Chains A and B, each alone.
Chain A
């Protein structure tokens, strides 16, 4: 039923060259960080790392990552099962609500909890907040997998004697195993990169330590060396996922039409099921929204003056995020085309290496760019272009993932047919390929925009003089001013700005799966 597809034709030179260039650009921050860390010599680097402090950071980071990844995976999968495979009352509404946490940035979520319940801090506080924030990264792809799965296979399993529950576990969940791994990977990597939330929750991780180093030490060497450890951790996570997942692009070759799943009836378990979903939605969605609204109206001004007005901050945020999204989308297109149209070990490696960029946390990319700008590209120093470049680099993999399904759908065979019908190559690309790829491009744009608009860590380091984004101004109020009332409008604006792209993104995933079941398998392949 599935066929592993390997092409045997070489890609056009222009496409290959562009892709290699893009990937080289993305991977260069890593090289810069290594250069910066080695500035004082390798012995000094090792001495900076070989300390009990670093060991405690490692312990903190690892145990948090394990706990949150496991919990988020369990939560995401179970919620996905409830909304996609059971007869849960109000399924569609719950499904929409469960995705909302994507719109709430990590540092805002942590702030809502710590402002109302200061006792939420440290390890357990971080586990709670991070799980509530990150489970959608597992929920979304798992829901897609469950929706697109073939009931025929489970039926066969049941004919072979397995119970319904066993059939689901051993057939569908196993098949969705790589999707689960992919989602867990995203959770883990995101966790490693966060700064704001941990600062707020007073939990020492590598990112808070890196910022601490920047604020107390007068050379960037120690900060860079910590960054290297962080990157090492991320690469480890990436490698372990690669070891467990399957290779190749999965394509379903079978009859196009597919029967719908019959949802499992819950019977008496209906009320507990609804309660459990509500028990997730309430703290993950209801609570932060409530707190933001509360502080909006409870007011309380701050003596801290805003460097820029709310409107200006929103304008800067929108502008830089949009530019970053545009650049990332444009860069991702050749790589995506190469990966889908000329799949080979070579192009897959290229694609995978761009995911290695995801392993480099935002702070590290920012540090590398600052280093590059101050040493090599003087005109870019403290410029908005640098910030836009940071966004494009950091969120490039997200854009790639979002557009791969659409690009795969726009097969070159369709272009050939179009040409045989008498249309020139450019016309065919405009009339055939572009409409098919456009939803994917839009989804990539939305995904990157969403992530950039709520980005804090890199922005803190790269924001040009005189400019504030919603995130940095919020941070100034929430952390430095400890003034909740003044911070709330910025949080609210950030969340509102994220709603539209998040909604569009959700619809894209929904439609691309409902319209073509075969596309669903491709999305699965793209997400893993």
Chain B
């Protein structure tokens, strides 16, 4: 279990800047997700922590030891950082067992650590097979076992589940994360799937423009995103124009309380974030003054449904539990509840 700290990391490839002044601190034993679009530099970040590449500027510390700075560089083999790549990257010429045992000393190998880990990932009887004889999911599990075998201080996972099909992904994900928590390993994994990041991690960092925009627990990230980009990244977002004064926002959907600690003394126009599940719909009962719209689209998911409602000039995405209360084309009345996040808007 170790902490990881990155300070002022910058990296460019040629003239293309990938990371620009990135700061991040991963607490001990935490599972941290780095969320970002493809090409946002997430993989580069992991590779820097692992030691496969060096940043142009900045410092990396693991457990208060400086592993990379202008004065010092610790090569990957001495960092005790485990790395699981997207494609698994098992050694094709070694059996599964030998793969897992690769990072172990002779004593450890004799002690049966490899078998222990294979059992942990549920592949106890696959030791003699070769990687090409395993399925994708099995290969990922072996890769994880291999990375955990030498008891690394930090485990890095690079989009470990993205190459698997959807059904497998969810189950493997929960298995893997459970295993990592049992081992109390400090884990950093990168993904572009916000669902994955939010559901699994203790802390999520949203990466954009070469930096981490916001680094917080999933609930905080979801409810109190720092800006519009982050908001739209971590979930469906309805952005309304509104006016904020003394902790309340006036919007077309009514008066809503601003989430605490955001814009404490602000008074003025703002963009207001309303999540789909904060909006409720019902059939209009007679003519009323309440805000109304027309259902344009609906997607039914079984446990809930998502409706796209035309509201004035905008389209709102609304999530309703169970069956949709209205059909496409019908007029509905809208109301919102709960706390909202806002950001100052120009004029």
Does any Cβ of B come within 8 Å of A215's Cβ?
no
- Judge whether B89 and A417 touch: CB under 8 Å: yes
Give the contacts of B56-103 with A (CB-CB under 8 A): 75-83, 85, 87, 89, 91-93, 102-103
CB neighbours of B146 from chain A (8 A): 421
Closest to B82 in A: A420
Q: What B residues does A418 contact at CB under 8 A?
A: 91, 102
Tell me the complex Cα distance, A435–B77, Å.
20
Contact A436 to B93, CB < 8 A, known contacts A416-B50, A421-B103: yes
Cβ-defined partner of B83 (8 Å) among A257, A417, A516: A417
Residues of B within 8 A of A431 (CB): 102
Query: In the complex where A8-B13, A418-B102, A419-B75 touch, is A413 in contact with B136 (Cβ < 8 A)?
Result: no
Contact assessment for A411 and B150 in the assembled complex, using a CB-CB cutoff below 8 Å: no
Query: Would you mind naming 8 contact pairs between A and B with Cβ atoms under 8 Å apart?
Result: A9-B13, A416-B50, A417-B83, A420-B79, A421-B103, A422-B77, A423-B102, A423-B103
Q: Does B52 contact A (CB under 8 A)?
A: yes
Question: Is A414 within 8 A of B91, CB to CB?
Answer: yes
Tell me what chain A mostly uses at the interface: helix, strand, loop, or mixed. helix
Give the distance in Å from the alpha carbon of A14 to the alpha carbon of B258 in the complex.
60
Q: For A161, what are the chain B residues with a Cβ–Cβ distance below 8 Å?
A: none
Q: With A9-B13, A515-B132 in contact, is A419–B91 under 8 Å at CB?
A: no
Q: How long is the Cα–Cα vector from A419 to B150 in the complex, in angstroms? A: 12
- In this assembly, does B14 line the interface, its C-beta being within 8 Å of a C-beta of chain A? yes
| Chain A residues numbered 1-37 whose CB sits less than 8 Å from any CB in chain B | 8-9
Partner of B85, one of A257, A413, A419, A432: A413
Interface residue ranges of B166-200 to A (CB < 8 Å):
none
User: Are A420 and B76 in touch, CB under 8 angstroms?
Assistant: yes
In the assembled complex, the CB of B89 is this many whole angstroms from the nearest CB of chain A, namely: 5
Count of chain A to chain B residue pairs whose CB atoms are closer than 8 Å in the complex: 70
Give the distance to chain A from B115, nearest Cβ to Cβ, in Å: 17
Q: How far, in angstroms, from A418 to B92 measured CA to CA in the complex?
A: 13
CB pair A421 B150 closer than 8 Å: yes
Min CB–CB distance B43 → chain A (angstroms): 11
Q: Which of B136-160 contact A (CB under 8 A)?
A: 136, 146-147, 149-150
**Residue B288 lies at the interface, judged by CB distance under 8 Å to chain A:** no
List the B side residues contacting A411 at CB < 8 Å: 89
Chain A contacts of B87 at CB under 8 A?
Answer: 413
A425 to B75, CA, bound (A): 9
Task: Report the Cα distance A436→B93, complex, angstroms.
Answer: 7
Chain B residue nearest to A435 (CB atoms) is B93
Expressed in whole angstroms, the minimum distance between the Cβ of A285 and any Cβ of chain B is: 34
The smallest C-beta distance from A514 to any residue of chain B, in angstroms, reads 10
Contacts of A424 in B (CB 8 A): 75, 77
- Measured between beta carbons, the chain B residues less than 8 angstroms from A436 are 91-93
Distance A418 CA – B149 CA, assembled complex (angstroms): 13
Q: Which residues of A410-465 have CB atoms within 8 Å of chain B's CB atoms? A: 411, 413-414, 416-425, 428, 431-432, 435-436
A residues near B132, Cβ cutoff 8 Å:
256, 515-516
**A467 to B: closest C-beta gap in Å:** 41
- Name the 6 nearest CB pairs between A and B, nearest first: A421-B103, A419-B76, A420-B83, A435-B93, A416-B52, A419-B77
The verdict on B135 contacting chain A, using a C-beta distance below 8 Å, is yes
Q: How far is the CA of A257 from the CA of B133 in the complex (A)?
A: 8
Across the interface, A417 reaches (CB within 8 A) one of B78, B85, B93, B149, namely B85
* A432 to B75 Cα, complex, angstroms: 18
Contact B93 A255 (CB under 8 A): no
Decide yes or no whether A409 CB sits under 8 A from chain B: yes
Chain A residues, CB < 8 A from B85? 413, 417
Contact residues in A for B135 (Cβ distance below 8 Å): 257
Question: With a CB–CB cut-off of 8 A, which chain A residues contact B14?
Answer: 8
Closest residue of B by beta carbon distance from A418: B102
Q: Report B6-59 residues with CB < 8 Å from chain A CB.
A: 13-14, 16, 47, 50-52
Complex-state Cα separation, A356 to B149, whole angstroms: 49
- A423 pairs with B77, CB closer than 8 A: yes
Q: Is the CB of A256 within 8 A of B136?
A: yes
Instruction: Tell me the bound Cα distance from A353 to B92 in angstroms.
Output: 32
